[in-house]
Structure formats: C-alpha cells, structure tokens
C-alpha cells in the first residue's frame, strides 16, 4: 500500500539553545521508524522552509517561528496532517498557556503577568518568599530567560537581562517547594516518561497523578507531542511549573520516536504497527 509523503521540519536553532542535536534526535527517530514502513521521508530545517514549498501530506514539525507556523496553518487548511499543529504551538506561548491551564483547573503555581517597566520590588510586594520571573512571550531561549528572585539584587540582574533582550512582559510565579520532575509525553497517555531532575532517575511508575495532569494539560493546549517540568508536593500532589511543545526527549528519544510514529499511523487509519525493534536512529 502506498504511503504518504512525510516532511520532517527541524526546530529553528534560535529556539534550541545548546540543544540542536538533542532536539533533532527524537525527530530523527520518528522519521526513521516511518521510513522503515514505507513512508517517503523528506526533511529540512525550519529556517530553510519556503512558503512556496510543496505541501506534504503529513508534516512532523518542531518549528516555533511565526513565519513557519503560518505555513503550517495553510497546509492544515488544505488537508495536511501536521504534528504539532500551529495553533497548539501558539497555545504554548506563555500568555495563552497560563490562561488556558488556569481556566481548565490544571495545577500551576499562583502567578500573574506584569509589564517589565512595572516590575520593581515595590510592585512585586518585596521578597517574603522566593519568586520566579519568566519572559512573558515564548519559552526560554537563552540563559536568564527564567530567573529565580529572592532579593533586590537578584531582581535587578533579572530585569537587566530582560531589558537587554527586549522582552516587554514578564510572568511572575510563586516558588513551589518540592523535588522537580521532568516529563515527556505523546498523545493521551500513549507514551509517558518522567525523570527526577536532580538525579535523572526514572520515576514514571511511581507518580501516576503526574501522567493524568500532563495528559489533561496536553488536551487543553491541543498538543500531541509535549513535555515539561512539575514539582511533587506533599500528599502525592503535582504542580506544573513548565509545559511546552515537542521537547528533546533527551532521555528517551528512541522510544518516543516510535510512539510519535505510531501516533501518525493511527491517525491515518493504518493497520500497520511498528515492531519494537524497528530501525530508529
């Protein structure tokens, strides 16, 4: 049976600071798995994708720039299957992300958006507790885009950084005490892995509530390939402190690549399943 043309689009380097190869590895794994069962695979970097490029039947896109997302919108409107969709990626920008998660009752730290010019110590209420400042548009692109603030000196350094890079709005969030877990997911609990940030130990089987919370967040945002960070609180509670589209899956790129490929196959109503030992990079 003939398989569709599938285009893999690698993330813009500016959105993969120090992680270009790690980000590419999971897409490589998914493309390899799909190639092994008959898909015609093409690939390119997001920077080189032109609006005049032929529309693929299926696209696996890690791109995040407005220019490429506009191309994805056009392709989707003409019938292409795009993962993740352009709209779901836009939903992962800080403002819509926090609004949607909060409105849906997904556990996130108390926080609010503030204009950079109003982010003085007096406006933040002093520092009775540690705060986090995050750029209010996209996720972290460079060092300093997420800053821990517990003093006037820390605040001054953080604001200097944000002014330098031209960020206008900041997300201010309370610090949540507890161990941090990094998680990675595909689909609605099709694939899920969780690792302690401090040690790298896999704890997937020990934190069931996090899987449900992450899947809920993914459904609210509309992403199919996602990841983030969560804090484990007392009483088996979890609080999402970060959520993003298509992370690097650096600890599990091979198995995640297979899951992404299976997601594509299922969505195209194909009876073919990928064997556990299908060739992946």
Domain end: 143, 174, 205, which one? 174
Asked whether the beta carbons of 172 and 94 are under 8 A apart, the reply is no
Q: Which two tokens stand for residue 76?
A: 């989707």
CATH code of residue 230: 3.30.470.20
| Residue 183 domain flag | yes
Summarised one tens digit per residue, pLDDT across range 213-227 is: 999 999 999 999 999
Residues 74-105 as b or e (16 or more Cβ within 10 Å = b) = ebbeeebbbbbbbbbbbbbbbeebbebbeeee
**pLDDT tens digits, residue range 14-26?**
888 788 998 999 9
| pLDDT exceeds 90 at position 278 | no
Same domain, 131 and 115: yes
Residue 274 lies in a domain: no
Q: Give residue 42's domain range.
A: 5-84+251-267
d(CA 134, CA 136): 6
The answer to whether residue 80 is domain-embedded is yes
> Where is the domain boundary, 155, 174, 193?
174
The pTM assigned to this predicted structure is 0.89
Total count of domains within the chain: 3
Residue 80 shares a structural domain with residue 9: yes
């Amino acid at each position: 049976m003939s398989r569709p043309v599938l285009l893999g689009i690698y993330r813009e380097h500016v959105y993969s600071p120090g992680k270009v190869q790690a980000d590419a590895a999971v897409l490589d794994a998914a493309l390899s798995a799909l190639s092994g069962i008959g898909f015609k695979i093409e690939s390119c970097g997001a920077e080189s994708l032109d609006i005049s490029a032929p529309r693929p039947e299926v696209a696996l896109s890690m791109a995040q720039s407005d220019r490429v997302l506009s191309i994805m919108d056009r392709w989707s409107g003409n019938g292409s299957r795009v993962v993740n969709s352009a709209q779901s990626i836009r939903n992962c920008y800080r403002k819509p992300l926090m609004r949607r998660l909060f409105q849906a009752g997904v556990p996130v730290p108390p926080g609010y958006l503030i204009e950079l010019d109003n982010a003085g110590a007096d406006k933040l209420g002093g520092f009775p507790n540690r705060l986090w400042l995050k750029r209010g548009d996209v996720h972290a692109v460079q060092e300093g885009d997420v800053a821990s603030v517990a003093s006037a000196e820390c605040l001054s350094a953080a604001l200097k950084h944000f002014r330098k890079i031209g960020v206008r709005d900041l997300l201010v969030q309370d610090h949540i005490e507890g161990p941090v877990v990094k998680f990675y997911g595909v689909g609605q609990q099709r694939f899920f892995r969780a690792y302690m940030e401090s040690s790298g130990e896999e704890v997937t089987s020990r934190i069931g509530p996090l899987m449900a919370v992450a899947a809920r967040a993914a459904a609210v945002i509309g992403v199919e390939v996602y990841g983030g960070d969560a804090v484990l609180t007392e009483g088996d509670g979890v609080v999402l402190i970060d959520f993003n589209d298509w992370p690097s899956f650096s600890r599990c790129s091979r198995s995640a690549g297979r899951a992404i490929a299976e997601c594509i196959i299922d969505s195209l109503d194909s009876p073919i399943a990928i064997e556990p030992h299908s060739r992946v990079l």
